[in-house]
Amino acid sequence: ILISPDGDITISNDGATIMSQMAIENQIGKLLVELSKSQDDEIGDGTTGIVVLAGALLEQAEELLDRGIHPIRISDGFERACKIAVAHLDKVSDVIPWSKDDTSDLFKCAKTSLGSKIVNKCHDQFAQIAVDAILSVADLERKDVDFELIKMEGKVGGELANTSLVKGVVIDKDFSHPQMPKEIKDARIAILTCPFEPPKPKTKHKLDITTVKEFEELQKYERDTFENMIKQVKDCGANVVACQWGFDDEANSLLLQHKLPAIRWVGGPEIELLAIATNGRIVPRFEDLSGEKLGSAGTIREVTFGTTNESMIVVEDCANSKAVTVFVRGGNKMIVDEAKRSLHDAMCVVRNLIVDNRVVYGGAAAEISCSIAVDKEADQVSSIEQYAMRSFARALDAIPMALAENSGLPPIETLSFVKSQQIKLGITSLGVDCMDTGINDMKEQFVFDPLISKRQQFLLATQLVKMILKIDDVIVHKTDDQ
């Protein structure tokens, strides 16, 4: 639980979130925050593991420095060990086949990512949502996924099990007038970034009205302007208006009279997503409106939640099915926010598998296997780097130990048992049985991690520790009054 200076509360076990919200003074601590952020930006998952690994490497480096080994020799040893570990990951990785029709393996990987999150009681449902959302927007030829097309919308109330994937756009607004129809079939949407109001000079202006006649003329001019705007919208064939700006009561009343439902104050990102989803064009002026610039959707409906009269607009059966919205429900804001973060991590795992469908086995099986491989190689190195390589292997053991401890298992006994079994049987998929199923083989438990995520963890953590080892002095610039 993190409490900000303003008193805002965040409950999370997402490594990147915790690190980014901690007020860290220590300079090396700040580097670890940057490390978790770079893992989050590049891969999207594995942020906790990378910080645990970097911390363990720094701990081992400190012991080696105390024994009088030069920092450069330590960093060379770590670099050498990292290369062996990454090469070993490639060796023990498996290719998981998947297609648009058979997504069972993608589902299993998403499930592994969600295993440590608070949403694990809706494990299967959230994993399926993550897979469906990514496959809806993925460009399978280019092996690319545009996260801009996936919108996360949350609403407090209901429970996590009510979370759903909407093949369209959800806008956190309601129709501008309560008497407008709540559902429109075969919608033709005019997407506007110009306000429903008479034109005004851009600079400051002042209008002097001295007589009643002048006031009536101004009123008539305003009404005619509104009438003309609505006529232009109706003439191009639109039956719904989505406007980025607001409009006053008179314009709202005229829209109702002309049976033209409207949504106002639609935010910038939402209006862009609406345009992508409906194959419409964003129109900056009423004069530019035409039939081919309208977006089209099967249904637009207003949905009300609970007793609070809070409403949302759901745009479904869009012309372009590549835009989707994940609609998250939860008992309070913190649960909704954490569910969004968990889903984001699961989606990143699925995205990584679309980019590269090689996996290693979770439950720290990959780390234990790499630790054994590095230890074995260290015995064949005659120089002083062998000490650093063994320390790297010990640092890799920190992850299975942390995993065992967090699962309520005795860490040292668990690690010793799994390690001995891996060496004895030669099965690299044996890991920590966190779920207490009685099976240590992660292949049988279907616990997968994307290879690119694990490789990135090793490379980035080693890179950071090497950089820290090169620091030999700290210069702090103080102000004159200090």
Sign of CA dihedral 233, 236, 240, 245: negative
Which DSSP string corresponds to 375-419? HHHHTT--STHHHHHHHHHHHHTHHHHHHHHHTTS-HHHHHHHHH
User: In whole angstroms, what is the distance from residue 69 CA to residue 61 CA?
Assistant: 9
8 is catalytic: no
What are the CA-CA distances from residue 464 to residues 36, 390, 471 (Å)?
Answer: 11, 19, 11
Alpha helices in 138-211 (DSSP H): none
Nearest one of 44, 3, 37 to 22, comparing CA atoms: 3
345 is catalytic: yes
Give me the half-sphere count of Cα atoms (radius 13 Å) on the Cβ side of residue 99.
Answer: 2
For the chain, helix, strand, coil in percent to 5 are: 50, 15, 30
Alpha helices in 97-142 (DSSP H): 104-114, 123-137
Coil, strand or helix at 28? helix
Q: Which of 10, 17, 47, 163 is catalytic?
A: 47
User: In whole angstroms, what is the distance from residue 317 CA to residue 110 CA?
Assistant: 26
Alpha helices in 249-332 (DSSP H): 249-257, 268-278
14 is catalytic: yes
What are the CA-CA distances from residue 470 to residues 61, 68, 76, 145 (Å)?
Answer: 12, 15, 11, 38
Q: Which of 10, 17, 48, 163 is catalytic?
A: 48
Q: Which of 345, 375, 397, 449 is catalytic?
A: 345
User: In whole angstroms, what is the distance from residue 168 CA to residue 248 CA?
Assistant: 29
Residue found by looking up tokens 């906790």 in the block: 48
- Residue 393, phi then psi, degrees to nearest 5: -65, -40
Residue found by looking up tokens 């097309």 in the block: 149
Cβ-based neighbours of 400, under 8 Å, separated by 6 or more? 363, 364, 367, 368, 411, 414, 415, 418, 431, 432
List the beta strands (DSSP E) in 273-354: 282-283, 295-305, 310-318, 324-330
User: In whole angstroms, what is the distance from residue 405 CA to residue 399 CA?
Assistant: 10
Burial of 296 (0-12, 13-18, 19+ CB in 10 A): middle
48 is catalytic: yes
Active site (catalytic) residues: 14, 47-48, 345
